[in-house]
Amino acid sequence: MPSPLRLRLQHAVRPFRSASRTARVLVTVGLLITIVFGVAAFLAPTFYRYDGEQYRVEQPDGSFEQLPRLAPPSAEHPLGTTRDRYDVLARIIDGGRLALAVVLFSTLIAMLIGVPLGLLSGYRGGKLDRVLVTVMDAVYVFPPLLLAIIVAFLLQAYFAPGVPSAAAAVGVVYIPQYFRVVRNHTLSVKQEPYVEAARSLGAKERTVISRYVLFNVIQSVPVIFTLNAADAVLTLASLGFLGYGVQPPTPEWGYDISQAIIDITSGVWWTALWPGVAIVTLVTALTLVGEGLNDVINPLLRARGAAGAKLDAAADGEDLGEPANVDPLSPGTEDGSGPGLAGRGFRS
* Residue 120 · residue 178 · CB < 8 Å: no
- By CB under 8 A, name the one of 12, 75, 141, 201 that touches another protein: 141
Amino acid of residue 200: S
Helix (DSSP H) and strand (DSSP E) numbers for the chain: 14, 2
Question: For the window 146-185, what string marks contact with another protein as x by the rule CB under 8 A?
Answer: x--xxx-xx--x----------------------------
Residue closer to another protein (CB basis): 202 or 317: 317
Under DSSP, the state recorded for 57 is E
Choice between 212 and 346, CB closer to another protein: 346
Name the strand (E) or helix (H) holding 56. Answer: strand 56-58
- What's the one-letter identity of residue 315? A
Determine which residue in the list 211, 242, 248, 249 makes contact with another protein, applying CB under 8 A.
242
Amino acid at 66: Q
Build a one-symbol-per-residue string for 34-63: x at contacts with another protein by CB under 8 A, - elsewhere. ------------------------------
If one asks whether residue 127 binds another protein (CB under 8 A), the answer comes out as no
The rounded distance, in Å, linking the Cα atoms of 154 and 159 is 9
Nearer to another protein, 222 or 243 (CB): 243
Coil, strand, or helix at residue 72?
coil
Q: Does 262 bind another protein (CB under 8 A)?
A: no
Under rule CB under 8 A, residue 22 binds another protein: no
Contact (CB, 8 A) for 292 and 26: yes
* Angstrom distance (rounded) from CA 4 to CA 271: 52
325 is a site residue for another protein (CB under 8 A): yes
Q: Which range, of 13-21, 57-65, 212-220, 272-280, touches another protein by CB under 8 A? A: 272-280
Query: Considering only residues 286-315, where is the footprint of another protein by CB under 8 A?
Result: 287, 306-307, 309-311, 313-315
Interaction between residue 280 and another protein (CB under 8 A): yes
* Of positions 32, 39, 43, 138, contacts another protein by CB under 8 A: 138
Scanning residues 200 to 239, which ones bind another protein (CB under 8 A)? 230, 234, 237-238
Number of residues that bind another protein (CB under 8 A): 74
- The minimum distance between CB 300 and another protein, in angstroms, equals 14
Q: Does 139 bind another protein (CB under 8 A)?
A: yes
Q: Determine contact, residues 71/85, Cβ cutoff 8 Å.
A: no
Judged by CB, which is closer to another protein: 82, or 209?
A: 82
What residue type is 282 in one-letter code? L
List of residues 6+ apart from 79 with CB closer than 8 A: 73, 87, 88, 89, 92, 270, 274
Out of 144, 161, 251, 292, the residue judged to bind another protein by CB under 8 A:
144
Residues paired with 56 in a beta bridge: 66
Q: Which of 10, 18, 74, 134 binds another protein (CB under 8 A)?
A: 134
Q: Does 276 bind another protein (CB under 8 A)?
A: yes
DSSP 187-255: HHHHTSHHHHHHHHTT--HHHIIIIIIHHHHGGGHHHHHHHHHHHHHHHHHHHHHHT-SSPTTS--HHH
- Interface residue with another protein among 161, 275, 290, 292 (CB under 8 A) is 275
